[in-house]
A and B are shown apart, each in its own frame.
Chain A
Amino acid sequence: MVRGIDVHYMEPVDNTDSLKPKTKAELESANAKLAKKMVWVAAGSLLFAFALVPLYDVLCSITGLNGKTNNEASTLTKAKVDTSRNVTVQFTSAVMPGLGWNFYPKQASITLHPGKIETVLFEAKNITGQVVVGQAIPSVTPGIASVYLKKVECFCFVNQSLKPGETKVMPLRFFIDPALPKDVSEMTLSYSFFEATKK
């Protein structure tokens, strides 16, 4: 509309956007344009929801936010044992519903110097009549300590398969990174065994 431009030209006003008269067509196209933008915002936040999944994993593996340990074999490069302090590691175990196993740590806790490699044992028994495959998932409390618990060898790195009635003693070789914050003197390592039989 030419009239609108004229009015605007002749008497300048402070709020140009709302005083500008619009034709119906102009308004409809402006509406459609803004609506499309908002659809993109909504689509973006849907994408954001899925992007949060890897972001969450990365954040947790850096900070140990959810108590997950690094499930890959570590090697002790700087073999420096810190004999000035002791750390107590407690062990707990759980069997998730659907897995017919008994599973428990052979020792309740051990006390060790940071930097020293220790071996502890866990025992699992299949009490069902079938071959059952299980997967152990670790979790460390307090979460902040989880990134300092380094595993050299662990039964949790791979699936474990037990024949009917079979008992298996499984080792965990680990050390505590000497960089562990000074105020942490105790931590709990918990293993939950989940059913992982292929169906």
Chain B
Amino acid sequence: MSTTTVAHDEVHHDHPSGIMRWLTTTNHKDIGTMYLTFSLVMFLVGGAMVLGIRAELFQPGLQLMNPDFYNQLIGVHALIMIFAALMPAATGFANWMIPLQIGAPDMALPRLNNWGFWLLPPSAILLTLPFTLALFGIGDGAIATGWTFYPPLSVQGGIGVDFAIFAVHLLGVSSVMGSINIIVTLFNMRAPGMTLMKMPMFAWGWLITAFLLVATIPVLAGAVTMLLTDRHFGTHFFDAAGGGDPIMFQHLFWFFGHPEVYILLLPVWGFIPQILQTFSRKPMYGYKAQVYSLWAIGALAVVVWAHHFFTAGMPVPALLYFMYSTMAISLPLAVLFFCWIKTMWKGSMTFETPMLFAVGWIILFGIGGLTGLVLADVAADAQYHNSYFVVAHFHYTLFAGGIMGIMAGVYYWLPKMTGNMYDETLGKWHFWLTAISFNLTFIPQFFVGLAGMPRRIPDYALQFAEFNMISTIAAFALGLSQLLFVYVIIKCVKGGKKATDKVWEGAEGLEWTLPSPPPYHSFTEQPVIK
């Protein structure tokens, strides 16, 4: 590629085939496909773990596993879903779609891109390997602290903690590299005439995500490194006996951890409006208002972290500050909700699968947001902290708001990526099964949480039995429904009705001007935006 001029790039198709193609590829579409495939596989792995958790919670008492293994499943489920399923899915879309949406021939730093992906499989292995090692009598299993690594438990834990620390290091390096690549691409590679305020909303969502990642992932890396030196090299960062403070870890962790929530959601807030405008057949409402709201949320995200541990002890002025600043996030978010609804208002709407997911997403993510406001209230949080109410809340934001949003994107762009239409009937089945079983899984958890059932404990009081039984049955239905999702994707990749270039009648944007599937090298001549 380096020897030819930009205009002649499309004649060079001498990339290696077979496994070497995927190992050495620097093509944004190949890398995007690898990210999305990896994400889907890890989504199923993390899902299988949580089915183990739900099976244990089917009845009160301990039936299937000892509490330590239960704790390992909880922590690894969360780490996998966050770092290996949701984040790579968003990065996969970024790789596939950002160059197509901004009229760029590829990502700005293709080799870095390849490296960023290939750090992921080793870190997934690091996370899950301790389970296997324990079978051979090495160590005592995976990290059992929950995904938050709180000391002193994480300082006392077994080798699973060390594995998880190194996995987080690798995942962090990978995310930072991916983010730098996206920032550089968006600033330097836009088609002539595409000003920042003409960028597609998905590009905006990712730009802010990328800045948040570059600013906060290193703080997590620093915090877990301190944990590592506390564990093995005699430092006392979090050891009270040596003058350290375990609460400080919570500050460091959530300084990363709260922005992380928006890192997971901002890309989705980017492409959902695009889906809404496509299937409402009218322009996106309030483009500028949405961009400014995304920025406002990105900025507020880094100054509200301590609401995750109100009950750890804080002076009243600090409690009030973190309560009010957290609640302030609901204002730009309300602007976004208004814009999403106004985009659909009086539109010629049709409800293909991506639109079903997008509309369902607005409602379910709205529930997640509103229950978050309850938890942001210091007085209420004292009651609901560490209860199943919290579990239900963050699954409404991260499963409905994150993963169901990603699914909307998958159905929206799958015909563009594969060139084939997916099976619309099965897609609709997948949506309804997912939406219904999701609600049946988590609505009972709100109830048991309000009644006082604590999270992260494998046993519970008898009065919670019925709700937990409903939740477990629905969780298995939710898990099995995702096999349908896998089937629809495989079927679509293998064949089906040919997709047109535009795919959707109301689709707007540069990616829909290319053939479906787009050629291996696209936009080698950049389009000019008027």
Give the B-binding residues of A (Cβ under 8 A).
15, 18-21, 24, 27, 30-31, 34-35, 38-39, 41-43, 45-46, 48-50, 52-53, 56-57, 60, 63-68, 96, 135, 137, 141-144, 192, 194-196
A192, B109: Cβ atoms under 8 Å? no
Closest chain A residue, CB of each to CB of B247: A66
Distance A41 CA – B318 CA, assembled complex (angstroms)? 28
Check B62 for interface membership: any CB of A closer than 8 A: no
Q: Which of B241-279 contact A (CB under 8 A)?
A: 241, 245, 247-248, 251-252, 255
**Which single member of A45, A56, A135, A141 contacts B313 (CB below 8 Å)?**
A141
Which residues of chain A come closer than 8 Å to B217, judged between CB atoms?
Answer: 42, 45
Closest chain A residue, CB of each to CB of B526: A21
Q: When A42-B218, A196-B241 are in contact, do A49 and B252 touch as well, CB less than 8 Å?
A: yes
Closest CB-CB distance, B213 to chain A, in whole Å? 9
Check B219 for interface membership: any CB of A closer than 8 A: yes
Closest CB-CB distance, A187 to chain B, in whole Å? 13
Distance A50 CA – B240 CA, assembled complex (angstroms)? 18
B240, A137: Cβ atoms under 8 Å? yes
List 4 additional contacts besides A42-B176, A65-B315, A66-B247; criterion CB under 8 Å.
A18-B190, A38-B180, A45-B216, A143-B313
A53, B248: Cβ atoms under 8 Å? yes
Closest CB-CB distance, A178 to chain B, in whole Å? 21
Of the A-B pairs whose beta carbons lie under 8 Å apart in the complex, a sample of 16, sorted by A's number, is A18-B194, A19-B192, A34-B187, A34-B188, A35-B108, A38-B180, A42-B176, A42-B218, A45-B217, A45-B219, A46-B221, A46-B222, A65-B314, A66-B245, A66-B248, A195-B241
Closest 7 CB pairs of A and B: A49-B222, A194-B241, A46-B218, A45-B218, A49-B219, A38-B180, A31-B108
Distance A15 CA – B113 CA, assembled complex (angstroms)? 29
Closest CB-CB distance, A87 to chain B, in whole Å? 18
Closest chain B residue, CB of each to CB of A39: B180
Closest chain B residue, CB of each to CB of A194: B241
A42, B219: Cβ atoms under 8 Å? no
Check B380 for interface membership: any CB of A closer than 8 A: no
**Which single member of A21, A49, A141, A196 contacts B218 (CB below 8 Å)?**
A49
Distance A50 CA – B222 CA, assembled complex (angstroms)? 7
Distance A141 CA – B313 CA, assembled complex (angstroms)? 9
Closest CB-CB distance, B468 to chain A, in whole Å? 32
**Interface hub of B184, B216, B221, B318 (most chain A Cβ within 10 A):** B184
Main secondary structure of the interface of A (DSSP, over half): helix
Which residues of chain B come closer than 8 Å to A65, judged between CB atoms?
Answer: 314-315, 318
Closest CB-CB distance, A31 to chain B, in whole Å? 4
Main secondary structure of the interface of B (DSSP, over half): helix
Closest chain B residue, CB of each to CB of A22: B188
**Which single member of A18, A42, A60 contacts B180 (CB below 8 Å)?**
A42
Q: When A31-B109, A56-B248 are in contact, do A142 and B315 touch as well, CB less than 8 Å?
A: yes
Check B320 for interface membership: any CB of A closer than 8 A: no
Tally inter-chain residue pairs, CB-CB below 8 A: 108
Interface bracket on B? 35 or more
Closest chain B residue, CB of each to CB of A64: B315
Distance A19 CA – B191 CA, assembled complex (angstroms)? 8
Distance A31 CA – B180 CA, assembled complex (angstroms)? 10
A27, B188: Cβ atoms under 8 Å? yes
Which residues of chain B come closer than 8 Å to A43, judged between CB atoms?
Answer: 218
B214, A41: Cβ atoms under 8 Å? yes
Check B129 for interface membership: any CB of A closer than 8 A: no
B180, A15: Cβ atoms under 8 Å? no
**Which single member of B183, B195, B237, B241 contacts A137 (CB below 8 Å)?**
B241
A49, B223: Cβ atoms under 8 Å? yes
Closest chain A residue, CB of each to CB of B4: A24
B184, A38: Cβ atoms under 8 Å? yes
B109, A35: Cβ atoms under 8 Å? yes
Check B6 for interface membership: any CB of A closer than 8 A: yes
Distance A144 CA – B190 CA, assembled complex (angstroms)? 53
Distance A42 CA – B172 CA, assembled complex (angstroms)? 11
Which residues of chain A come closer than 8 Å to B191, judged between CB atoms?
Answer: 18
Check B18 for interface membership: any CB of A closer than 8 A: no
Distance A39 CA – B184 CA, assembled complex (angstroms)? 11
Closest chain A residue, CB of each to CB of B156: A97
Closest CB-CB distance, B192 to chain A, in whole Å? 5
Check B5 for interface membership: any CB of A closer than 8 A: yes
Check B215 for interface membership: any CB of A closer than 8 A: yes
Closest CB-CB distance, B94 to chain A, in whole Å? 15
B184, A52: Cβ atoms under 8 Å? no
Check B137 for interface membership: any CB of A closer than 8 A: no
Closest CB-CB distance, B346 to chain A, in whole Å? 33
**Which single member of A27, A34, A96 contacts B241 (CB below 8 Å)?**
A96
Which residues of chain A come closer than 8 Å to B226, judged between CB atoms?
Answer: 50, 53
Closest chain B residue, CB of each to CB of A44: B218
**Which single member of A19, A35, A48, A196 contacts B112 (CB below 8 Å)?**
A35
Distance A130 CA – B206 CA, assembled complex (angstroms)? 60
Which residues of chain B come closer than 8 Å to A141, judged between CB atoms?
Answer: 313
B219, A34: Cβ atoms under 8 Å? no
Q: Which of B1-35 contact A (CB under 8 A)?
A: 5-6
**Interface hub of B180, B189, B217, B221 (most chain A Cβ within 10 A):** B180
Closest CB-CB distance, B123 to chain A, in whole Å? 18
Distance A24 CA – B192 CA, assembled complex (angstroms)? 14
**Which single member of B188, B240, B241 contacts A30 (CB below 8 Å)?**
B188
0/1 string, B106-121, CB within 8 A of A gives 1: 0011001000000000
Which residues of chain A come closer than 8 Å to B215, judged between CB atoms?
Answer: 41-42, 45
Closest chain A residue, CB of each to CB of B238: A53
B314, A143: Cβ atoms under 8 Å? yes
Which residues of chain A come closer than 8 Å to B108, judged between CB atoms?
Answer: 31, 35
Closest CB-CB distance, A127 to chain B, in whole Å? 19
Check B519 for interface membership: any CB of A closer than 8 A: no
A56, B188: Cβ atoms under 8 Å? no
Closest CB-CB distance, B270 to chain A, in whole Å? 20
**Which single member of A20, A31, A53, A68 contacts B184 (CB below 8 Å)?**
A31
Q: When A65-B314, A143-B313 are in contact, do A34 and B184 touch as well, CB less than 8 Å?
A: yes
Closest CB-CB distance, A30 to chain B, in whole Å? 5
**Interface hub of A19, A66, A195 (most chain B Cβ within 10 A):** A66
Which residues of chain A come closer than 8 Å to B6, judged between CB atoms?
Answer: 24
